[in-house]
Structure 1
Amino acid sequence: MKRNPNFPFAPSKSPIFYGWIVMFAGTIGVIASIPGQTMGVSVFTNYLIDSLQLSRDALSSAYLIGTVTSSLFLTHAGKIYDKFGARFTAMIAAFGLGITLILFSYSHLLSESISSSINIGFSTSSFVLISLLFFFLRFSGQGVLTLASRNMVMKWFDQRRGLANSLSSAIQSFGFAVSPLFIALIITRFDWSTAYQALAILTVLFIIFAYFLYRDNPEECGLIPDGKMIETKVESLPTFQSKKQYTLKEARSTWVFWVFALSLCFNAFFITGFTFNIISIFESCGFSEQKALSVFIPVSIISIITAVTGNIFSDYIRIQKLLFVYLIGCFLASLGIAILESEIGYYILIVGNGIMGGLYSVLVAISWPRFFGRKHLGAISGLSMSLVVFSSAFAPLFFSRIHTLTNSYSLAGYVGIACAILLFVFSVKAKNPQLQ
């Protein structure tokens, strides 16, 4: 398939460096993936349970099945991204996401039709159907659309990659913070089925948006990363340019890939488990629902500050140093869960989550092009994304089972502490392969 980077217009004729337009477009792409993200799913959870006549455990199990299955295909999706580029990949992913959202809006009717057609129980048909829909939702939304949008932005910058990602992360954080309220407002004004259809319409509008603004890389548009102005200033900045373009096979044979990938998996696992069970976690420690939900506000503030600061510093320091700070955040977030019954635990949890979430957005975007180059970025980040999605699938059930067995979530925190310490020890030797 031809990419036609100069159609419907040539980015080289833009009055400003087109990378900044790409940064904005890619950021909107990540925000458009919210219906496939954990927070997008969680808003509809109770409505799906009631309409599909499923227990909470059954819905969580369907979510697990769909998410794990989707993770198995993301590495291949990354290779498709490398071949066909960001515009084509993002448009196809958004189209799949839109169709899936429409099917979700009619899931109760589809389940009833399946149940009567093949003479099985309504709950059984609901479980099978929703597992399949979760697969498409997580694969197209959280997986492919996020991968294509984030990688596209990183390809357009080199020396200013951190600055671009800092602006993108700040906008993303705001979008992710207000999106649950926006979705809840639609549900309150209409109903959950109409809300899914409204999100599908927005996804169609995004496809048009992506067609006009998405471009895979500056070279095919007759431009260079960072724009022409940076070319005259590059000597004043540290050299982090990729000398070798690693293949997927070469990248996954390095120590640094697995240390960073598993560290990113920690965030996905912890945040997913925490978000799914947040009210129960706080209630088990004697806190109110309002106290539980209010935690996101200070966490978001710290996360935005950390993300902007971390992205700016990433242009001047080695990523390994940011990984150290990130893992300290992982340790504090876990410690906060472990000792949440005490007042200090609440504040430790907030600080830890803010640091971990903010630097996650830095590491997940900056690390792979810095370490392994841009040529096979889709395949390498695709493998990383598949591991992240895979790990997030098990978190809700893990947290839930710990509470069932111990009547507390403290053990989940202590397990997190042990993992954070282990990853910190491993990260000492996680050097940038480009410097070796």
Structure 2
Amino acid sequence: MSSSSSGVRADADVANLSSELSPGAAVSSDSRFFYGWAMLPLATMALIATAPGQTFGVSAFNDSFRTALGLSHSQLTGAYMVGTLLAAIPMGYVGALMDRHGLRVTITAVVILFGGVCLYTSQVNSLPGLFFAFLFLRMLGAGALGLLSGNALAFWFERRLGTVEGLRHMGMAGAIAVVPALNLWLIDAVGWRWAYAILGLSVWAVMLPALAWFWRDRPEQVGQYKDGLPHGSADGTVVESAEDEARTSLTLREAMASRAYWVIIVCIGMWSMLGTALFFNALPLFTARGLGTADVAWLFTVFAVSLAVMHVIGGLLADRMPLNLLLASAMAALAGAMAMAWRLESAAWVYPLGMLIGLAQGLIVSTISPVWPRFFGRAYMGRIRGTSATVAVAASSFGPFLMGAGYDLLGSYDTVMLLFTLLPLPMVGLALIATTPAKRRQRLQRLVA
């Protein structure tokens, strides 16, 4: 038997261990409303609130930045690249703050700072000022707020975590479709400075009351447990309390000693680098292939639809299939998308390309969200996911630059797109052998023994 199949079987054994060893421990679900379902829209709101710091949110302001500040394209993109790279560094510290002070306190502080940075961005008058705006927009928005919103539901759900994460990311897919047009409308209506100020004030107006009145970090704070189940085990699923999680979770050092951690980290960096590179350079790539702006628009439209569908399907699959198999499938889809972009020949290729990119991102997001708590536990999840956020943000800064530099040096995108096609292929095989670390399985076994 392969290591992959044995790892999958061991994971299933752990999940069913309680019912096998203590048949009388199965319990019925709590009849009260499970507050985790209230946390789902709150976590979705927090994810959407990152939009002013996401590439799709910032890009609508690029022409305004260049015109108002008298910048060249290279100055603008260079400031964005360096700002994004430096923004990745503190993510591990943000995760540590979450572990120490809790999600509610940490995310409230981030929201206050992020709204302030949006107001600061509306007042920049120079390239250095814009650089610092990019740095803190990326650090606090796409980085810290994205990281913290991504951790929220893992404390409330276990069996349905993949499904609810898919629903949360559907909200972000909707934001990708709406926010750029909304930003352009705001710029036309009130100017780019007031537009960014309005975005910052909106983040405060929506998120701060929600955090103050409705946000709860853990089900124990409202007298419940994950999935709304009483403490114990039901339907073969271990239901850990906060005290159990402290005993069964892996520390960052223990996680980094496992094979699964490094495979997951590399897969995250791979998608972030290649996906960002393709989208950032879509227009010049399509132009080099004889296509136009309308084809680029269709690419994003098809991608958004495919992504929304795959968030739901991928979330359902993540609750029913081995996560390492889904991760391998995501890497295969990513390689296929890069190959299609490399050999792009006509407008007819745009539709399957958009669908395949949406499939790849939907699968990897649906897998990554539940893999951290299931493979490593929740007690140190902030620190562990913080390192992955550092890799993701840093990789997203390198991808567009590598693609552009390859074109400048070689006169075409062919060589770099071939490289991008080959890079994910080894990860397909490595993902198959990335299973729950043995130390985590042993601790769960002791919990239910």
Q: Bin the TM-score by the shorter chain.
A: 0.7 to 0.9
Give matches, 1:158-169, under 5 Å: 158-169=158-169
Q: Give 1:239 shift.
A: 9.6
1:235-288 CA distance string (max 9 Å, x none): 3x6999978300011111211111111111122112222222221111111111
For residue 129 of structure 1, what is the aligned residue in structure 2? 129
CA distance in 2, matches of 1:287, 1:231: 58
1:107 alignment partner, SS class: coil
Q: Give 1:295 shift.
A: 0.9
Q: State whether structure 2 residue 366 is matched by structure 1 residue 362.
A: yes
Equivalent residue in structure 1 for 2:124, among 78, 98, 107: 107
Contact 2:326/2:364 (8 A) holds in 1:
no
Q: Give 1:173 shift.
A: 1.3
1:411 alignment partner, SS class: helix
1:43 alignment partner, SS class: helix
Q: State whether structure 2 residue 223 is matched by structure 1 residue 219.
A: no
1:197-246 CA distance string (max 9 Å, x none): 110111111222222222211123321001138978523x6999978300
Give matches, 1:23-422, under 5 Å: 23-108=40-125, 111=126, 126=127, 128-205=128-205, 206-228=207-229, 233-235=234-236, 244-342=248-346, 345-422=349-426
Aligned length: 406
Unpaired runs of 5+ residues, structure 1, are: 1-12, 112-125
Contact 2:302/2:351 (8 A) holds in 1:
no
Contact 1:329/1:354 (8 A) holds in 2:
no
Contact 1:338/1:414 (8 A) holds in 2:
yes
1:226 alignment partner, SS class: helix
1:330-373 CA distance string (max 9 Å, x none): 11111122111245643442232011121132123111111100
- How many percent identity over aligned positions? 27
Q: Using a 3 Å threshold, how does the CA distance of structure 1 residues 207 and 429 change in structure 2: closer, same or farther?
A: same
Q: Using a 3 Å threshold, how does the CA distance of structure 1 residues 245 and 427 change in structure 2: closer, same or farther?
A: same
Q: Give 1:14 shift.
A: 12
Q: Which moved more, 1:355-364 or 1:403-412?
A: 403-412
1:86-144 CA distance string (max 9 Å, x none): 11111111111111111111102xx3xxxxxxxxxxxxxx2x22222211111110111
CA distance in 2, matches of 1:30, 1:423: 28
Q: Give 1:84 shift.
A: 1.2
Contact 1:302/1:354 (8 A) holds in 2:
yes
CA distance in 2, matches of 1:423, 1:303: 22
Q: Give 1:425 shift.
A: 2.7
Unpaired runs of 5+ residues, structure 2, are: 1-29, 443-449
CA distance in 2, matches of 1:234, 1:408: 56
For residue 114 of structure 1, what is the aligned residue in structure 2? none
Q: State the TM-score, normalized to the length of structure 2.
A: 0.85
Q: Kindly report the root-mean-square deviation, in angstroms, between the aligned alpha carbons of the 2 structures.
A: 2.3
For residue 19 of structure 2, what is the aligned residue in structure 1? none
Q: Which moved more, 1:367-376 or 1:353-362?
A: 353-362
CA distance in 2, matches of 1:203, 1:364: 26
Q: Tell me the amino acid that sits aligned with residue 310 of structure 1.
A: G
For residue 3 of structure 2, what is the aligned residue in structure 1? none
2:218 alignment partner, SS class: coil
CA distance in 2, matches of 1:238, 1:53: 59
Q: Give 1:407 shift.
A: 3.2
CA distance in 2, matches of 1:69, 1:87: 25
